[in-house]
């Protein structure tokens, strides 16, 4: 059945662009909107009969006025949407003179109705998508049943493997730019999931195909190709961006963890890197700083500032290169002998051999994490 507010809106638009008088009736033949406002609330017998008999049009000539209750000369036609009669629209005047106008009015009304319904569905779907995002990424409690119901309505396939990629934009106005998001969406796979986060970033849970061999290698290759593709959209609009990868997921209950891993990479400025390359540092960061302090504070007090800086500035590069001194020295842009000198300072101070002993590497890794966290806390207190 036609909505009174919607019908009044149509009448207001018609009044602005034409001198004709229109009326809108519901399925009961009651006038719910009219250019001549005094007619609102009246019963229109001709329209009611037309709708009851399933006719496409009814003409009311001046001679016919006395046959029907509540009518004036004119034409009435049904309003049909999705093959369903919703009500009727009428125009006042001599039938043969106003027929072209009522045909256009009917078409305009039904088009408005279709567009209004389309907008309503968009808003409803947008609200559902935002609720889905909040349940999926931000909720402290599990909403398993609700998530699956929303996923089904939004046509998200549940049990696929996806990797979260968080895009941090230089200008966050684009995270709400419908045209930009549509262009980005068109480059994604139908099983990808795209969200604008509360923080104004763009999160894409990228669908990846899983094979039985070289899983990580294949995933990295697939994600690199995807980043190359979407970078064209950013470059075309001159948007500077960084991206941060999280962990592979295939269970909606764990998607918030994948998002958390992206944000951890973002906080540590590991743009464009694979989260799995930083697992040791990530797990170390989960150890309470108080517990690390209980283990390493005395050792840290024995270290002078120069030795602290040597460990902080060089250890990550050494670890990333698997303690290959040639590669590490190139990455640090220093001579290999300089790196050996620095490493010997660490080895001689502690009496350990991180090049050949995994336990010694782990000891230094945790110490390195503690020193970095301690320095960060001190800088924030200043």
The predicted pLDDT at position 124 comes to: 64
Q: Is-same-fold flag (4-120; 157-284)?
A: no
Q: Which CATH architecture has domain 4-120?
A: 2-Layer Sandwich (3.30)
The predicted pLDDT at position 123 comes to: 58
pLDDT tens digits along 359-373 = 999 899 889 988 988
Residue spans per domain, the chain = 4-120, 157-284, 287-381
The predicted pLDDT at position 153 comes to: 87
Is pLDDT above 70 for 382? no
pLDDT tens digits along 105-118 = 999 999 988 887 77
Is pLDDT above 80 for 130? yes
pLDDT tens digits along 219-255 = 999 999 999 998 888 888 888 899 999 999 999 989 9
pLDDT tens digits along 45-103 = 999 999 999 999 999 999 999 999 999 999 999 999 888 999 999 999 999 999 999 99
CATH topology for 157-284 is Alpha-Beta Plaits (3.30.70)
**Average pLDDT value for residue range 266-271:** 92
Using pLDDT thresholds of 50, 70 and 90, give the confidence band for residue 319: confident
pTM of the complete model: 0.61
Distance from C-alpha of 201 to C-alpha of 58, rounded to nearest angstrom: 57
Are β-strands 31-34 and 162-169 bridged in parallel, bridged antiparallel, or unpaired?
unpaired
Using pLDDT thresholds of 50, 70 and 90, give the confidence band for residue 122: low
Is pLDDT above 90 for 120? no
SS3 sequence, the chain? CCCHHHHHHHHHHHHHHCCCCEEEECCCCEEEEECCHHHCCCECHHHHHHHHHCCCCEEECCCCHHHCCCCCCEEEEEEEECCEEEEEEEEECCHHHHHHHHHHHHHHHHHHHHHHHHHHHHHHHHHHHHHHHHHHHHCCCCCHHHHHHHHHHCCCCCCCCEEEEEEEECCHHHHHCHHHHHHHHHCCCCCCEEEECCCCCEEEEEECCCCCCCHHHHHHHHHHHHHHHHHHHHHHCCCCEEEEECCCECCHHHHHHHHHHHHHHHHCCCCCCCHHHHHHHHHHHHCCHHHHHHHHHHHHHHCCHHHHHHHHHHHHHHHHCCCCHHHHHHHHCCCHHHHHHHHHHHHHHHCCCCCCCHHHHHHHHHHHHHHHHHHHHHHHHC
Cα distances (Å, whole numbers) of residue 149 to 131, 135, 146, 195, 199: 12, 12, 5, 18, 26
């Amino acid at each position: 059945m036609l909505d009174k507010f919607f019908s009044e809106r149509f009448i207001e638009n018609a009044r602005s662009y034409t001198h004709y008088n229109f009326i809108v009736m519901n399925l009961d033949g009651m006038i719910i909107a009219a250019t001549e406002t005094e007619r609102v609330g009246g019963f229109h017998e001709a329209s009611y009969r037309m709708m009851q008999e399933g006719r496409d049009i009814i003409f009311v000539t001046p001679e016919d006025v006395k046959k029907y209750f509540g009518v004036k000369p004119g034409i009435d036609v049904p309003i049909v949407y999705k093959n369903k009669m919703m009500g009727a629209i009428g125009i006042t005047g001599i039938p043969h003179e106003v027929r072209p106008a009522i045909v256009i009015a009917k078409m305009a009304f039904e088009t408005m109705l279709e567009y209004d319904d389309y907008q309503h569905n968009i808003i409803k779907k947008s609200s559902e998508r935002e609720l889905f995002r909040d349940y999926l990424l931000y909720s402290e409690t599990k909403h398993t049943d609700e998530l699956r119901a929303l996923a089904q309505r939004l046509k998200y396939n549940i049990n696929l493997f996806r990797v979260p990629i968080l895009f941090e934009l230089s200008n966050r106005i684009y995270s709400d730019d419908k045209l930009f998001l549509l262009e980005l969406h068109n480059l994604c796979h139908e099983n990808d999931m795209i969200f604008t986060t509360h923080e104004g970033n763009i999160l894409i849970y990228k669908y990846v195909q899983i094979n039985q061999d070289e899983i990580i290698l294949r995933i990295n290759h697939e994600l690199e190709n995807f980043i190359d593709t979407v970078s064209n959209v950013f470059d075309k609009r001159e948007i500077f961006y960084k991206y941060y990868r999280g962990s592979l997921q295939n269970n909606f209950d764990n998607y918030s963890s994948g998002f958390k891993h992206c944000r951890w990479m973002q906080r540590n400025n590991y743009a464009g890197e694979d989260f799995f390359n930083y697992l040791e540092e990530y797990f170390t960061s989960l150890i309470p700083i108080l517990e690390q302090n209980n283990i390493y504070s005395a050792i840290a007090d024995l270290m002078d500032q120069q030795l602290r800086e040597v460990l902080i500035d060089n250890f990550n590069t050494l670890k990333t290169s698997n303690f290959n001194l040639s590669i590490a020295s190139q990455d640090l842009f220093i001579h290999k002998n300089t790196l050996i000198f620095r490493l010997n300072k660490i080895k001689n101070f502690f009496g350990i051999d991180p090049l050949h002993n995994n336990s010694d590497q782990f000891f230094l890794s945790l110490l390195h994490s503690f020193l970095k966290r301690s320095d960060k806390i001190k800088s924030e207190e200043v």
